[in-house]
Amino acid sequence: MIKPEFSEFTFGYAFTENFTNGWLGGGVRSVPIFPSLLAEGRPTGGYDVAIPTHAEPILFQFKIPQLVTRRSRLLPPAYWPPYYRMHLEPGARSAQHRALLQHARAGRRVFYVAPCFDRMDILDNHYRYHQVPDQCAYFSPDDIGVLDDEAHFVAYQRLNGNAWLFSEPKETAARAPEEVRQQLREIARTARPVARQDDYFSELSSEIVRSIESAVELRLERRPREAKVDRTVYVYEELRKVDSRDLLWIARSTETIDDPLARFVQLATFVLNCHVVLVGTPEAVPAGA
């Protein structure tokens, strides 16, 4: 198996820059929200101006896959090398997937995003022509579902909507870029008004904290054994390896942040390991218009 020539940070930066500079098309604004823009709960230089008057937050967790170039007993049905494996943290190690799943099932917009390329020169070319978001596979945590404490990965191929969840093969869906683009455009058109003290962001923050609390409680009840990891199934990536209870401590420590939007961004970034982008318009369009 081959690792891509670029890091998660490099891929995430290229994706975000292309996404926020017109990927959704005219009339829609996409604003990345970084924790560095927030100081003690107060937006800094130009932050208020940047936020669309009507907006919805989208959460992206960037994943760097492995390229599989040989046949093996884990070859997905109807697949032929090469294909990609996007690894997911087992439930025993991290509460993040369970939290993202609960967030998605509450009607929030959450995506795992993984590239359909692995070379740096290809990333450079896509970035130059603002095509990085068009060359990615998108996965909803809801499509993946609940994970047990074993190791898991999603196998996918470029331009193939049929993905497979392992260790036990289960067919799942890879969302096509155009499908995601149309979905997010509609979300932006009908977005609600944004206010820094909006109860909406307070509720989003509460959902994240509750999801982490639930995941930690489940983990303590199950007291999972130490999994025997088959290295042909799962090779640990350079991912966050934060214990669930530590994530819960981080989540609860954000209670001191007064601004609801600032708290939500902190939770999304440091607890869910997601990047927040607000998509919206100067004025919302009524549904069905």
Q: In this predicted structure, what is the pLDDT of residue 134?
A: 97
> What is the mean pLDDT of the segment spanning 118-138?
97
Judge whether residue 122 has pLDDT over 60.
yes
Question: 39: which strand partners?
Answer: 42
pLDDT in tens, 190-238: 998 877 667 888 999 999 998 888 877 765 554 444 444 333 333 333 3
Q: In this predicted structure, what is the pLDDT of residue 114?
A: 97
Judge whether residue 156 has pLDDT over 80.
yes
C-alpha–C-alpha distance, residues 49 and 64, integer Å? 33
pTM of the shown model: 0.84
pLDDT in tens, 82-110: 999 999 876 655 678 888 988 898 889 99
C-alpha–C-alpha distance, residues 142 and 108, integer Å? 11
User: Which positions ≥6 away from 18 have C-beta within 8 Å?
Assistant: 126, 127, 130, 131, 132, 133
More confident residue, 15 or 199: 15
With bands split at pLDDT 50, 70 and 90, how would you rate the model's confidence at 151? confident
Counting residues of the chain whose pLDDT is more than 90, the rounded percentage is 42
How far lies 266's CA from each of 42, 155, 208, in Å? 13, 31, 11
Q: Which residues of 176-189 are buried (b: 16+ CB within 10 A; e: fewer)?
A: bbeebbeebbebbb
Q: In this predicted structure, what is the pLDDT of residue 241?
A: 52
